Chains A and B, each alone.
Chain A
Amino acid sequence: MFEWQKEKDRQNLHQLGYVQELHRTIDGFSSFAISFSIISILSGLVTHFGFGLKMAGPAAVWTWVVVGFFNTLLAFSLGEIASAFPLAGGVYKWVRKLAGVRVGWFTGWISFIGWLGVTAGIDFGLGFFLTSYVGLDSSNLRTVVWITAIIVTLHTLLNVFGISIVAWFNDFSVTVHIIGVIALVALLLAFGQRHSISIVFNTGNIQPGHYWYGFTQALLMSAWTLTAFDASSSVSEESINPSKTVPWGMISAVTVSWFFGALLLLSLDLALPNLGLLLKTETTATLEIVKSALGPILSNFVMAIVQVAMFAAGLSSLTVTVRVLFTMARDDGFPFAKGLKYVSPKYETPVYSVFFVGGMAVMLCVIGAVLPVITSLSTFSIYLSYAIALSAALLAKRNGKVFRGDFSLGRYSTPLQVISLIWTVFICLDMLLSPTQHTWKFFLGIIVILLGYYFAVMRKNLAYKYRRLSETEIEELEVLRGGR
């Protein structure tokens, strides 16, 4: 089935100068599933709802409306680029193609940091929830970090020894997310309603003069949740007809998440108990709301489903982060690239990359220590990588470079990309300038290290001229590597 399509995809990849090494098995639904699982409304919204409440009161739900609208436009804009460059590595490879290896290398690193933050953020959030769920003190950071480390270790081991389980979990994750949201929303609407719909206009205890400032801070809740949808593009070389399935996978993941997320936030708002008490719990606020609305047994049951969804999202996220790292290591863009790009013939996974990402994720939790710090760093990095990709695309167009895949926005392409660029820059500034977090300090430190590494090592390495392979060489390599 789809053999003719796979042959066409192979020819397209050759035209981009790459060898078909991976087997194309991912269809449209799986492409959607990957991004939908990593967006994971049950991880992002459930862990950050308390933060949103603290910053903007119940009206924080409007941040979801704003972010959902602009991120749909962003998904369309990035989808067009993904369609033109259906290559594994996503943003890194797009920029490399559009703006050269140097900008590509920096973007790849920024994207990797963002993805690492996504993984750490999801697992740290689950760590907080699980600590509270099993009856331990979630305000004790040491306990939370230990539990998070256990979760990350499980994800790491699954990625090394059970890649087939990871693939199964990825599809299962979609079911758990949809069932989890429907169950939670239906139960909260049926049994937990305490307020009328006007609660969505309640700004909490925030002083009127400071409200809009708080609202922009609360954007973190929605911006972090509804991001990393470029996951579909990271598996472009394994997708069937990626020029169409990848952009539509990204767009559908964003819009479906937007719809279900809106329902979830609305039901949580309507079920809000005492706001003052709730704000003290911040990260586990959702757990308190669900408990007070549904009673101990039912809430434990529903939150167990939510935590399974979080676990699945963390697993998918770690898998994609490893792919991003592996793609860069394959181009020798990382220190110790030889080890990082090593694929175990027994387990068919880049084992050292998996351990590296797992270790870095735990380290980020230890250094970051506060969930919004990790997630804002992640949000900043991911949106910055999007902004660079959009700028590169706009500049390339201005310079007369033509790139077009099967998914094209036609005359709306440039306006949409400009709006998306402005939006991503706005989110970056919002995350960077926040006085409640210390994102800018973190990012500054990372940039300093990155520049040091660039000038010390990479400037020479990147000066190496990448020769485009001829069609005959590509064919020979494919036969050698068994990619066909």
Chain B
Amino acid sequence: MTVELDSRESSKNADFHDILISHRNVDDFYRQQGLRKVLKTRHLWAFGVGATAAKAFFGWNYGQPIAQWTSYMVAFSIVTVFYFTFMLTFAEIATTFSYAGGAYAYARRAFGKAFGFLAGITSITQTVFIAAVITYALGEYIHFLSPYVHPLFISIVFFCALSLVQILGIREASAIQLLIAGCAVSGFVLYLMGTCNHIPIKAVLTQLPHTNIKGILTFFPFALWFYIGSEGIAMTAEETKEPSKTIPLGFLTSALTSIAIAGTVFGLSILALTNNKTIFQSSFPLFAILETIQKNDKTLLVVFGALGITALTGCLKTMINAYSRQVYALSRAGYLPPVLARIHYGRRTPYFAVLFPGLLVLLLVLSVRVKFGITIASLSANITYLVILASFFKIRLKEKNRLQKTFRVPFYPLTPIIALLVSVIGLLSFVLFYHLAVLTMLIIYGVGTLIFVLWVRNNVFDDAPEEFSAESAVLQQKVTVGNGS
């Protein structure tokens, strides 16, 4: 597909081509929205793995006491099944609507402008909260490794540096992300090699705690924490080369790697922790476990400590990328001030969409507690998943020929139904046990609705770029069928 069309020529012939509905409509859309298409499967993999790697390193042990670890294990297994089925479903819809809007674009297509806006707000809440928690953790972690470094100072330095990389260009950002993801995965391999021979199997089997439904539900948000944010890679869809091939492959490879990392880390850590419950109180449990098991191997600990920084950095970079593209897509469609959709002429990056939500992240770093941040991020992610799945079903049922032929979710409708059921259970766990988080989300939606009624309703464009492209593709299909070809 050619993206470097002559802009003057294409605008001159715009009316003619609108009537004909040719490939040029789609080409024009890609050209006008201006992001550079450079990402390949390996880059999507890096963004996806980067998003989940940090969660395996930090935050998952902030839930209930370790005594109920079997309940946690059940919750983790259910969430893993959900995550895989969700990613398969998500790959299909993201391949069809390969636009920067992600959840917002699908919800708008399925349920209209207002739902699109609320989905966009949920997605921004999720990514901004994850970014804030990880920024905070990054500072704390570096301070933990080297007590001379001030945690807040180093957090801000890292955050600003990564935002700057994001503004520099997607090519630079994705290359660095690939390196970071590689280092993060290496860290987990080292963890596996350092701990796998030190699991007290007998002690574990003789001390199995009781499993109950309440325990499973209370662990749910923290099990979900392992995987949230990985759907942020859909935000890079407009910057992807050959999206019909690259997106499903990138999604599935990153999902499988994330499951392997989370499963290994969770399994080994939980089993290693059963004999030493004090480690569970550590903010950075993986480092604490490895330090206990391999206390004489200082070289290993130093290297693992350094690789831990890359795991956290990878997630932060994916989140900066995700919220910037989400804000950019909403602004482009008129939901947010148009200044946020401005693209740097040379670098083709939405720099205001990187900077403004970044200020919000810094504000949250200074004001929000980690456990609360994790629950809010998990809840908003859960809602985002529900919105995406509901949009998927709606589009599948109403627009049968609309979804991509290149990648179809296997075992439809069983696969998306499983994902939908688990995400409903997830939402239930929040409603039952995490009232403050639910209340906060309700306030966010209240404010969002107010903004929509007072301002957005009058400013949003009827022909959002995503919708325009979708219509063009449908009409094009009709023309082709009508011509008998």
What are 26 residue pairs bridging A and B, where the CB atoms are less than 8 Å apart in the complex? Answer: A179-B182, A187-B299, A187-B303, A191-B299, A191-B302, A294-B299, A295-B297, A295-B299, A295-B300, A296-B297, A297-B190, A297-B193, A297-B194, A297-B294, A297-B297, A297-B300, A298-B190, A298-B297, A298-B299, A298-B300, A298-B303, A300-B193, A301-B186, A301-B189, A301-B190, A301-B193
Nearest Cβ on chain B to A75's Cβ, whole angstroms: 28
Contacts of A298 in B (CB 8 A): 190, 297, 299-300, 303
Nearest Cβ on chain B to A390's Cβ, whole angstroms: 40
Nearest Cβ on chain A to B5's Cβ, whole angstroms: 16
Interface string of A288-309 (1 = CB under 8 A from B): 0000001111101100000000
Contacts of A294 in B (CB 8 A): 299
Contacts of A297 in B (CB 8 A): 190, 193-194, 294, 297, 300
Residues on B facing A (Cβ under 8 Å): 182, 186, 189-190, 193-194, 294, 297, 299-300, 302-303
Q: Which residue of A lies closest to B194 (CB)?
A: A297
Nearest Cβ on chain A to B146's Cβ, whole angstroms: 15
Main secondary structure on A side of the interface with B: helix
Q: With contacts A187-B303, A298-B297 known, what are 20 further pairs, Cβ within 8 A?
A: A179-B182, A187-B299, A191-B299, A295-B297, A295-B299, A295-B300, A296-B297, A297-B190, A297-B194, A297-B294, A297-B297, A297-B300, A298-B190, A298-B299, A298-B300, A298-B303, A300-B193, A301-B189, A301-B190, A301-B193
Complex alpha-carbon distance, A330 and B314, angstroms: 51
Complex alpha-carbon distance, A295 and B190, angstroms: 12
The 4 closest A-B pairs by CB, nearest first: A191-B299, A295-B297, A297-B193, A297-B194
Complex alpha-carbon distance, A297 and B189, angstroms: 10
Contacts of A191 in B (CB 8 A): 299, 302
Contacts of B303 in A (CB 8 A): 187, 298
Q: Which residue of A lies closest to B303 (CB)?
A: A298
Contacts of A296 in B (CB 8 A): 297
Complex alpha-carbon distance, A298 and B300, angstroms: 6
Q: Which residue of A lies closest to B190 (CB)?
A: A301
Q: Give the one of A179, A187, A191, A297 with max B CB within 10 A.
A: A297
Contacts of B302 in A (CB 8 A): 191
Q: Which residue of A lies closest to B297 (CB)?
A: A295
Complex alpha-carbon distance, A294 and B186, angstroms: 15
Complex alpha-carbon distance, A264 and B297, angstroms: 23
Interface range on chain A (Cβ under 8 Å from partner):
10 to 19
Complex alpha-carbon distance, A301 and B299, angstroms: 13
Q: Which residue of A lies closest to B191 (CB)?
A: A297
Complex alpha-carbon distance, A295 and B295, angstroms: 12
Contacts of A295 in B (CB 8 A): 297, 299-300
Interface string of A106-127 (1 = CB under 8 A from B): 0000000000000000000000
Nearest Cβ on chain B to A210's Cβ, whole angstroms: 38
Complex alpha-carbon distance, A230 and B194, angstroms: 42
Q: Give the one of A191, A298, A300, A301 with max B CB within 10 A.
A: A298
Complex alpha-carbon distance, A191 and B303, angstroms: 10
Complex alpha-carbon distance, A297 and B299, angstroms: 10
Nearest Cβ on chain A to B301's Cβ, whole angstroms: 10
Contacts of B300 in A (CB 8 A): 295, 297-298
Interface string of A179-215 (1 = CB under 8 A from B): 1000000010001000000000000000000000000
Complex alpha-carbon distance, A328 and B79, angstroms: 58
Contacts of B194 in A (CB 8 A): 297
Q: Which residue of B lies closest to A298 (CB)?
A: B300
Q: Give the one of B186, B194, B300 with max A CB within 10 A.
A: B300
Complex alpha-carbon distance, A297 and B294, angstroms: 10
Nearest Cβ on chain A to B381's Cβ, whole angstroms: 32
Complex alpha-carbon distance, A179 and B186, angstroms: 11
Contacts of B182 in A (CB 8 A): 179
Complex alpha-carbon distance, A295 and B302, angstroms: 12
Q: Which residue of B lies closest to A183 (CB)?
A: B186
Complex alpha-carbon distance, A298 and B186, angstroms: 11
Q: Which residue of A lies closest to B189 (CB)?
A: A301
Nearest Cβ on chain A to B170's Cβ, whole angstroms: 20
Contacts of B294 in A (CB 8 A): 297
Complex alpha-carbon distance, A298 and B190, angstroms: 7
Q: Give the one of A179, A294, A301 with max B CB within 10 A.
A: A301
Nearest Cβ on chain B to A36's Cβ, whole angstroms: 19
Q: Which residue of A lies closest to B182 (CB)?
A: A179
Q: Which residue of B lies closest to A192 (CB)?
A: B299
Complex alpha-carbon distance, A220 and B294, angstroms: 40
Contacts of B299 in A (CB 8 A): 187, 191, 294-295, 298
Nearest Cβ on chain A to B212's Cβ, whole angstroms: 38
Complex alpha-carbon distance, A179 and B193, angstroms: 19
Q: Which residue of B lies closest to A305 (CB)?
A: B186
Complex alpha-carbon distance, A127 and B286, angstroms: 34
Complex alpha-carbon distance, A229 and B294, angstroms: 43
Q: Which residue of B lies closest to A294 (CB)?
A: B299
Complex alpha-carbon distance, A296 and B190, angstroms: 11
Complex alpha-carbon distance, A226 and B189, angstroms: 32
Nearest Cβ on chain A to B4's Cβ, whole angstroms: 12
Nearest Cβ on chain B to A278's Cβ, whole angstroms: 20
Contacts of A301 in B (CB 8 A): 186, 189-190, 193
Interface string of A258-301 (1 = CB under 8 A from B): 00000000000000000000000000000000000011111011
Contacts of B186 in A (CB 8 A): 301
